[in-house]
Amino acid sequence: MIGLYGLMYEGWNPGAIVPGVVGVICLLLAAYGLQVLPVNYAGLALLTVGIALMVAEAFAPSFGALGLGGIIAFVIGAIIMFDSGIPGFGISIALVMTIAIVAAAAIIWTAGYLMRLRRRGAVSGEGSIVGGVGTAMDDFAGSGKVWLEGEAWAAHSDRAVAKGQRVRVNELRGLTLHVEPVTDSEAAPGLRTQQ
């Protein structure tokens, strides 16, 4: 496993050198060790597929399906990999379960974090501006200036706006905000205020 992770890290960060060297050495030692031990190659294949699926979970939007499949394949593969029946040549079930639980916790945390990011919505660009509430910098009917997200914006309103009045952005055309005044009842709960 260290060999596989070392090679994957080297692939993600070319030129790191140390993970690649350690990975190759560990894989060669594993190949030697597997030659000596009675290995079930179906178990070895399941173990490899499990690790590949857990790594793929980070890059594919499967909402945990790849990670869960990877954990199941890893556990089954690790359990059936050594089938000699000779004491001392088996694999520790506690070790397999610990690795599986740690991997599952990492996948669940990552999926939860990504879902929270998705629900947060846009934090920059047009998606964060339209629907936002800013403050009029001067009295205007037609063209004027609005303070929004820490910047002064050119604004246009079909209705009269007083200096200091809160305005909602309905549309962004080029660099001009099309706004409307916000009444006190509208400004209460749940409105995104930008000042």
pLDDT along the chain (195 residues), means of 10: 79 78 82 71 84 80 78 86 66 82 84 78 67 89 88 89 91 87 62 47
DSSP letter at 67? H
DSSP letter, residue 182: -
Listed residue (107, 103, 165) closest to 136, CA to CA: 165
Predicted pLDDT at 87:
66
Residue in 41, 38, 66, 51 with CA at minimum distance from that of residue 3? 51
pLDDT for residue 188: 46
Read out DSSP for 72-137?
HHHHHHHHHSB----TTSS--HHHHHHHHHHHHHHHHHHHHHHHHHHHH---SSHHHHTT-EEEES
d(CA 164, CA 175): 21
User: What's the pLDDT at 88?
Assistant: 64
pLDDT at 191: 46
Report the C-alpha gap between 68 and 72 in whole angstroms.
6
Distance, in Å, from the CA atom of 48 to the CA atom of 7, rounded to the nearest integer, reads 13
